[in-house]
């Protein structure tokens, strides 16, 4: 089971294998809704300091610094 996050809207899902859908989450609208693999689901809670998305991961999620939601703010994972 891995965490996947949409790079456009920040939607977080847990899924084994890439979620179905044409490349991204099913929300329409502007932006590039692509799923990004953030690594295996674990037991440590991390919260994004900008959008309050919480992810469970063993160790820091597999991203460059922060959550992948676009928009303003500094999306950094912080251990909750």
Contact assessment for residue 15 and residue 1, using Cβ atoms and an 8 Å cutoff: yes
Name the one residue in this structure whose structure tokens are 């502007």. 30
- Joined together, the tokens standing for residue 77 give 């994972």
Among 39, 47, 51, 70, binds Zn ion (CB under 5 A): 51
Cα–Cα distance measured from residue 4 to residue 76, given in angstroms and rounded to the nearest whole number: 16
Minimum distance of Zn ion from residue 58's CB (angstroms): 20
Binding status of residue 34 toward Zn ion by CB under 5 A: no
Count of residues in contact with Zn ion, rule CB under 5 A: 13
Binding status of residue 75 toward Zn ion by CB under 5 A: yes
Binding site for Zn ion (CB under 5 A): 6, 8-9, 11, 25, 27, 33, 48, 50-51, 67, 69, 75
């Amino acid at each position: 089971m891995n965490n996947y996050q949409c790079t456009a809207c920040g939607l977080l899902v847990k899924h084994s294998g890439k979620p179905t859908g044409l490349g991204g989450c099913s929300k329409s609208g502007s932006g590039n809704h692509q799923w990004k693999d953030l690594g295996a689901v674990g037991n440590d809670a991390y919260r994004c300091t900008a959008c309050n998305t919480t992810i469970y991961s063993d160790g820091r999620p597999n991203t460059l610094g922060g959550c992948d939601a676009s928009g303003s703010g500094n999306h950094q994972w912080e251990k909750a």
